[in-house]
Structure formats: C-alpha cells, structure tokens
Structure 1
Amino acid sequence: MRDALRAARAEAAFKQAIIDKLTHENAILKRLKFAAQSERFSAEQKSLLDETLDSDLAAVAAEIEGLQPSRAAGERQQPRRGKLPAHLPRRDVRHEPENTTCGCGQAMQRIGEDVAEKLDYQPGVFTVERHIRGKWVCKCCERIVQAPVAPHIIDKGLPTTGLLAQVLVAKYLDHLPLYRQEAIFERAGHAISRSTLAQWVGECGVQLQPLVDALTAELLRQRVLHADETPVAMLKAAGQRDGKTHRAYLWSYCSTQFSPLQAVVFDFADSRGGQHARGFLGLPGTPTKPAWQGKLVCDGFTGYKACFELGVTEAGCMAHARRKFHELWANHGSQVGEQALKFFGQLYEVERTTASADSAARLEARQTARPLADALHQWLRQQRQRVPDGSATARAIDYSLKRWVALTRYLDDGDLPLDNNWVENRIRPIALGRQNWLFAGSLRAGKRAAAVMSLIHSARLNGLDPFAYLRDVLERLPAQPASRVDELLPHRWSPLA
C-alpha cells in the first residue's frame, strides 16, 4: 500500500507539473491575444496570427482537460451557442435502444426524445444532422431506456466529423487559411467565425496526436529512411523586436518507394540544428528506447553528421551530386559538366530498367553499374587535378569525391534508392502552403501543422482520399482503444462496411 501511495503521489505530482506548465503557456497565449501589441502587422498577418493563437489556446485547454481528474457531467462547463439557422436543410439520424423490452417482460413505451443538432458540410452545402434519441419507459418498473450519446472528437461539439475533416484538409492540404474558409462558409449560407474554426483545429490536433505518434513508431521500424528539411517562417517570441519572424524548419522523414510501408512524418522545429534529427531518430538511445540504426538517405547537410557518428549509416543522394554538374553545364556551358552528366545518365538508366523489380533483381542489375561508377570516380579524380582550387568546377567535383562511399552505397543494397528525390517530392507541396500561410504563428502551431500533414500526405501516398480518411478517423477515434489505434493508420485503414 505504501508503494502504491508513493506511485500515486509521484503520478499526481508529475501531472500537476504538466498542468502548471500548460497553464503558464495558456496565460502567455492569452496575453499575446488580448494585450496591446507594440508590433504592427498587416490585416492579413493579424488574421493569421489570431487564428493561430485561438488554435493554440484550444489545444492547451484540451490537454489540461485530459490531465485533470474526471468530473461529473453536471460539473462540466456547458457550451453556449445559438440555434442553427432554420433555413438549412436537416437530416434526421435516429438512435434507439437495441431492446425495448423491460427486464420484467413488459414492452416499453416511447415517452419522448432528445434532439441534438450538429452542423455538417458537403463542399458548398451546409446541412444539419438532427440526432434524435428516443426515450422509452416501462410503466411497470418506472425504468427509462435511451440510446447513449455517441462519443465525439469534440465533446458536445457543434460540427460533424465531415465538417472538421473539411476544415483540416482545406487548411493543411489545400492551403486555405481560416479567414478564407470563413468567407467560403459564409457564401455557403452559414457564417462560422475564424476563432471558432481555430478552436476546432486546435482540439483536433490534440486528439490526432496519438495517431501521429503511432505512425512515427511504425516509420522508425524501417531499416531505410529518407530525410530532408525545408524552411518555414515562424513568429518570434514576445519581446524579440529585431524582425517579426525567424527561420524555422519542417523536417521530413519517409519510407522509400521500395518499402511496403508508404508513410511520411513531418517534424516541425525552430531551427535547422542537427539535434532535431537526432531527437526524431532517438539518438543516442536509451535502454528503454533503442536508437534507430538504419540507413539514412539524405543530402550533404552537416546537421546529419552526428547521426552517422552514433551508428546511423549514411546513404548519399546522387541527384544532389548530379545537380552540381548540371549547374556548370546550364550556366557556363562547361564541358566537364556535360561529360559528368553523361556518366550520371548511364547510372540512372540502369535504375530505370529495375524500377518495378524486387530487391534481389535490383541488386543484380546494379552490379552492372559498378564499372560505370568506378569509371566516373576515376574521371573525377583526374579532372580535379586539372582545375584550380576554389573554382565552381572544383567545388562540384569535391562534393562527389568527399561523399563517394555514401553516394555508391546503393550499389550493394537493393533496398537503397539512388537519390533523395522521393522525400523531396513529399516536401514540394509545402512550398505552396508556405506562400499561403505566410508564417507559423508559434512552435505549437507548427507542430500541429506537421502532425496533421503527416496523416494527410501519408493517406495520399496510400491512394486514399484525405477527406474520406480523416472524416472516418475522426468518427472512430474517440471510441478506439489505445492499444488498437494503429488500425487507423493510413496504410492499414479501411472504411467501415
């Protein structure tokens, strides 16, 4: 009993520490939202900042609610909202008990019903779902039976999962900020304030995080991964006056095109420091969480170097090496660049012939490419002796020579890709979003965007409709046991019959 009491006290102290941390963060966010601001933003920037803060506030509140002891239904704050417009079409969804025969054997009589209205959305059209729960009573036993309220991703929330999925997909796939969605919804017949939309986004982000954690765990079981990063502007913390934003990064990790698992996970960080890559890969590792020790396909960015010193095997990107010589040829008409491109073209031609082959056949074909790679290596060394140090040609040649072992490691492994283009194509849609977001409002907002985008883009990799996938997941997640949350991952998901 003493051990159990100590454990309970330790758990309570741990939860209280987290609650205190989140409460402090909540206070900071409220001060940012409501206090007078010395910075001056354009109307568009101010709108984006407001929706980010509203989403963060909702997310923090949801996390605090999850950590606090359960409260009785009557103690929970009831949401206050007006009635939905009468002109919107309505669709009744009836919920009745499976059995209306009382335990005494008498048939129960229907004495009334409870009606809860939820706002639904199909592209361009609002409708209202009327959830009708009939009340049944046994006059003999004075016993009332009613179908229970189905769990919802937002407790007692107004929107259906279809509307929530629409908001998330529009924001994180179609790159529509919430102030634009507000205008679109108003044209569809019902105005939803961007602060309300932001609260929905924040709460959904918290609820979807366990699914993203499960996807990350699955990805880290792969022995070969791609990695890359792209810059995203993020607002500076309060008090930093030298400019409004600074450069943050969205790191991307994904399985290869040869892997049965098709998944991508984005990780938002406030810098390009190599510690972020090591943190994602679990390096250097602990007894309870071993470090990832696979092969990492990446460019020559020095931030990954410490990973290789901690047991990760480097696999270079041939496309980056080729790109250096293409710039020489395209910009200066360099003969060295032109000849190098011919060598690279022969190596890529071998890969094209095995695009749909299995690992063993691919490895066998790559053995025919080894003489080509050796010839390229020897030619590069000869050319390096003929060009002056510091020239553009010398830098292009040095890039390949310094990474030659990593660049040609794919020749001995049929599961290794030739280059890092696969993950770069996963990041490419982010560039369009970056132009529409303008910036990430906070570190929490950036991480929430990364989490939702991980699910959406993984769904696309598996040939799924992101809207249909998210709508179904948001419907099932509240009742899904934590031990079976991996059943909702994009590569395992199948819609309910």
Structure 2
Amino acid sequence: MVVQPQSLEHLSAEQLREMTARLMTQLRHQGALLEKLTHENALLKRMKFAAQSERFNPEQKSLLQDEIEADLAAVASEIDGLQQESAAVSPQEKKQPKRLPLPANLPRREIRHEPESSTCRCGCQMKRIGEDVAEKLDYVPGVFSVERHIRGKWACAQCETIVQAPVAAHVIDKGIPTTGLLAQVLVAKYADHLPLYRQEAIFGRAGLAIPRSTLAQWVGICGVRLQPLVDALKAQMLQHRVLHADETPVQMLKPGNGKTHRAYLWAYAPGAFEGMKSVVYDFCESRAGEHARAFLGEWRGSLTCDDFSG
C-alpha cells in the first residue's frame, strides 16, 4: 500500500487514524510472516549443512519437528487473525487442502440442532427443507467415534424466511477434532510426555493414524486459543503477596544462525499456604532478572527463589 503525500492533505484526523491503524496491522502481519519464514529457513539450513556431530538422530528430529510444527501453526494462526483485522488487504481465495472423509467404519452418534420453534414469526408453520451435516472426530482412550452434528433448515412459505440453529463454537474453526480429542492430545503430550509421533502410532492402532503434522497444528492453535486463560490466571496469581519463581534451561533453535541456543522456561507459582494452586510458565531467552521484572510488573510482595544472583 503506497500513500502519496499529496493525498494526505484532504484526509480528516479520523481518516488518518484509520489509515495508521491499517498500516500498523499490515506491519505486524509482515513481521509475523517474516519471523515464520526465517524460522523455517534456519531449521532447513541446520538440517542440511550442520556438522555431523550437530545433526539430529531420527528420534531427536521427530521431537524437534513436533515442537517446530506446533510453533509454526501458532504463528500461522496469529497471522490469520491479523489478516482478518486488516481492512486494507483485499480478500483473496485461499486454497484449502481437500480433507478426506472420516472412515465409514467408525461408530457415529447423531447430535441434532433444531430451532426452538417451528412456527414462523408471522404465525405460519414452517416446513423442513433440508439440513447441514458436520462430522467431528471424537476419541475416548482406545476408541474413535464420529459426532454427526445435524442442523435442520426450516422455511416459511408465507414470508420466505429460512431458520436454522447456529453453528456451535469450536476451538478450531471448521476443524474435525472435538474438544475431547484435543484434550487427549494435549494431556498426552504435556502431562504424560508422549511425543506426537508416538501418539500417531497409538491412534493408528485405534483405527485412524492422524499425521503428526496435523497433531502439531492442533497443538499450536490450542496454544493461541488458551492464551486468554493464561493471561487471566497470571492476573489472578499476581494478586497474592507470596510467590515462588524458578527457571530451567531448554534448547532453542536460534533463527538466523541455525544453531541451538540455551533459553529458559520460568515457572511462577503462589506460596505453599496460598489458596490458589497453579503454575504459570514464561519462556525467555535468558535467565536475567529483567525477565522476572517484566513478568511481575508492578507486583509487590515476597518472592521466593534460589540464590542465583540474577
């Protein structure tokens, strides 16, 4: 979007503010996209050109690939959100990969969604003229099943009105997994420490091998969807006067140079005698005290930690 200086003279203050907001949205979108591409490029360079001693063995590669694909899915989800916010970007048809139908041998459970009343506002009785069906994949440990959400269409011939129950909100818009399946993947990965490539094999034995790339996309999008909950949990935790904090090292692939870098995962929790039982994690590139100050903000109280000088 190129703006000529002469064209700005005739704009009001409100129009200038709207244009500035659109340009800032475009800038954030381009920055997120550049970060995603830089991250992918750094990974490919390392896998191709790294010294033999620094290359991944198959298991390390699978574990790292799971995390990278989840991160990329989270970034892609944020980019999509920024694109929707931007009014300056012209709508373009997005090519979606064709999704294969769910296996016909899986048991199915129908869930019908109908209007509360089949009587039109004009007083006439409406007729059912069709329905929309959306299938969601559900999972109870060891058994897959399919939820068939059927939304009937009702029409009034008198006033030519069509009524249909609204689509229920889903964690992944137009995605096939139910909340139960998503919870299973997240709990298995983070609570039971099952990498996604192992979950892929477990699901395969249950009758449907979900590719780890798909599982990684689900994990990344769930991370973005859960962020408001994390923010609320942090705000609630910072109301306590006693907090515990500690950090542990994790390996991070540094974009740009293709090498791993020691980063840190900080953990914050209320005191042992506080009524709230929770832990909030904050990923940082170092263990410097500035990260704790940024996380705690204006909080004042007793912080319990180890004797590290930082």
Task: Classify the TM-score, shorter chain.
Answer: 0.7 to 0.9
What amino acid sits opposite 2:204 in the alignment?
A: E
Q: After the TM superposition, which parts of structure 1 deviate over 4 Å for at least 4 consecutive aligned residues?
A: 32-36, 70-79
Bigger Cα displacement from structure 2, 205-214 vs 231-240 = 231-240
Aligned mate of 2:205, from 176, 187, 191? 187
2:26 to 12, 16, 19: 16
Which residue of 1 is the match for residue 275 of structure 2?
A: 260
Q: Distance in 2 between matches of 1:85 and 1:54?
A: 26
- Identify if the C-alpha distance between structure 1 residues 77 and 209 changes in structure 2 by more than 3 Å, giving closer, same or farther: farther
**How far off is 1:230 after superposition?**
1.8
Query: Displacement, 1:129?
Result: 0.5
The CA deviation string for residues 202-222 of structure 1, in whole angstroms up to 9 with x for no partner, is: 111111111111111111122
SS in 2 for 1:92: strand
Q: How does 1:388-427 map to 2 (within 5 A)?
A: none
Partner of 1:5: 15
Q: Residue 168 of structure 2 aligns with which residue?
A: 150
CA distance in 2, matches of 1:58, 1:281: 28
Identity of aligned residues (%): 61
Structure-2 separation of matches of 1:208 and 1:91: 28
Structure 1 counterpart of 2:303: 296
Matched, 1:200 2:211: no
- Summarize the Cα distance change of 1:29–1:231 in structure 2 as closer, same or farther, 3 Å threshold: closer
Kept in 2, the 8 Å contact 1:33–1:50? The answer is no
Displacement after TM superposition at 1:240 (Å): 4.6
**302 and 224 in structure 1: CA distance in 2 versus 1, 3 angstrom threshold:** same
Q: How does 1:171-250 map to 2 (within 5 A)?
A: 171-240=189-258, 245-250=260-265
> Are the equivalent residues in 1 in contact too, given 2:43–2:258 (CA < 8 A)?
no
Cα displacement (A) at 1:237: 3.7
The CA distance in 2 between the partners of 1:22 and 1:103, in whole Å, is 48
Larger radius of gyration: 1
8 Å CA contact 1:228, 1:299 repeated in 2: yes
Quote the Cα distance in structure 2 between the aligned partners of 1:292 and 1:171.
33
2:200 aligns to what SS in structure 1?
Answer: helix
The 3-state SS of whatever aligns with 1:68 is: helix
Q: CA separation in 2, counterparts of 1:197 and 1:104?
A: 48
**Relative to total residues, which structure has the larger strand share, 1 or 2?**
2
SS at match of 1:203: helix
In the TM superposition, what is the alpha-carbon distance from 1:121 to its structure 2 partner?
Answer: 0.6
Question: 2:271 & 2:101 partners in 1: Cα distance?
Answer: 50
- Structure 2 matches for 1:228-377, cutoff 5 A? 228-240=246-258, 245-282=260-297, 291-303=298-310
Judge conservation of contact 2:39–2:255 (CA < 8 Å) in 1. no
Quick one: structure 1 residues 138 and 77, their matched pair in 2 at CA, closer, same or farther if it must change by over 3 Å? farther
| Kept after mapping to 2: 8 A contact 1:79/1:156 | no
> Could you tell me whether the CA contact under 8 Å between 2:113 and 2:152 is conserved in 1?
yes
Please name the residue that 1:167 is paired with. Answer: 185
Cα gap change, 1:200/1:73 in structure 2, threshold over 3 Å: closer, same or farther? Answer: farther
1:43 to 33, 44, 58: 58
Task: Find the aligned partners of 1:113 and 1:256 in 2 and give their Cα distance.
Answer: 54
Length-normalised TM-score, structure 2: 0.87
Q: Secondary structure of the residue that 2:209 maps to in structure 1?
A: coil
CA distance in 2, matches of 1:120, 1:73: 33
Change (3 A) 1:50 1:240: closer
- Where does 1:460-475 land on structure 2 (aligned, <5 Å)? none
Q: From the superposition, tell whether residues 78 and 151 of structure 1 become closer, same or farther in structure 2 (CA, over 3 Å).
A: farther
SS of structure 2 residue aligned to 1:254: strand
Q: 3-state SS of the aligned residue for 2:18?
A: helix
Aligned to 1:99: 117
Output the TM-score relative to the length of structure 1: 0.55
Q: CA RMSD in A?
A: 2.3
Partner SS state of residue 200, structure 1: helix
Tell me if structure 2 keeps the 8 A contact 1:29–1:56: no
Query: Between Structure 1 and Structure 2, which shows a larger proportion of helix residues?
Result: 1
| Alignment gaps of 5+ in structure 1 | 283-290, 304-497
CA distance in 1, matches of 2:196, 2:248: 23
Once residues 237 and 32 of structure 1 are traced to their aligned partners in structure 2, the CA distance between those partners, rounded to angstroms, is 5
Does the C-alpha gap of structure 1 residues 262 and 210 become closer, same or farther in structure 2, counting only changes over 3 Å?
Answer: same
Q: How many residues align?
A: 292
1:31 match: secondary structure: helix
* Within-5 A mapping of 1:62-81: 62-69=77-84, 78=96, 80-81=98-99
Range 3-12 or range 81-90, more displaced: 3-12
CA 1:78–1:143 in structure 2 vs 1: closer, same or farther (change >3 Å)?
A: farther
